[in-house]
Copies of this chain bind each other. A is one copy, B any other.
Amino acid sequence: MNLATTDETRSSLTDLPVPAVDADPHEQDVPWRHRHVLDVDVLSAADLELVMRTADAMREVLGRPIAKVPALRGSNVTILFYEASTRTRVSFEVAAKNLSADVVNIAAATSSVAKGESLVDTIRTVEALGARMLVMRHSVSGAPYLAAEVFGGSVLNGGDGWHAHPTQALLDLYTMRQRLPGGSVEGRKVVILGDVLHSRVARSNIWSLTASGADLWLCGPSTLLRGFEAWAARGAAAGRRFHVTSSVDDALRDADVVMALRIQKERMASGLLPSLREYAARFGLTRERLALARPDALVMHPGPMNEGVEIAPDVAVSAQSVITDQVTNGVAIRMALLYLLAGVRDGG
Contact = CB atoms under 8 A, between A and B. Distances in A.
A316 B313 CA distance: 51
Interface string A301-335: 00111011000010010000000111110110000
Identical chains in the assembly: 3
A324 B150 CA distance: 12
A67 to B, nearest CB: 6
Contact of A124 (B73, B75, B93, B324): B324
Nearest to A70: B66
Contacts of A234: none
Contacts of A327: 124-125, 128-129
A98 B67 CA distance: 18
A228 B10 CA distance: 73
Given A121-B305, A307-B117, A93 B87 contact: no
Interface residues of A, number: 48
A130 B62 contact: yes
B129 A90 contact: yes
B121 A67 contact: no
Contact of A94 (B104, B118, B122): B104
Given A118-B307, A121-B305, A128-B324, 10 more contacts: A67-B76, A76-B94, A93-B104, A94-B129, A117-B307, A117-B313, A121-B303, A122-B304, A130-B328, A130-B331
